[in-house]
Amino acid sequence: SVYHGQWVEGKKHGIGQMYSDHGVYAGEFTSDDMKGYGYFDYPHGVSYKGNFGNVHNHNFIDHKSKSGN
């Protein structure tokens, strides 16, 4: 994977973008983890937007395919 963004003490921390075979994430990182608000675009056309890193927040993620459905 490739990361562009803020670092603190050698860890992804703050706002950044991570590109991998699994998709593209852009948003908040905390100590190398995707935590906070962001979005994830999967290669098969589905996107998720919302809070990451807290299972209780996953109910609030909106999802749309690239076709708008």
Instruction: Give pLDDT tens digits for 8-56.
Output: 999 999 999 999 999 999 999 999 999 999 999 999 888 999 999 865 4
3-state SS, residue 60: helix
Say if residue 63's pLDDT is above 70.
no
Q: Name the DSSP class of 10.
A: T
Q: Which sign, positive or negative, has the C-alpha torsion 12, 55, 49, 24?
A: positive
What is the pTM for the complete model shown?
0.75
Note the maximum CA span of the chain.
41
Which string of b and e fits 5-14 if b means at least 16 CB within 10 Å?
A: eeeeeeebbe
3 state DSSP class of 49: strand
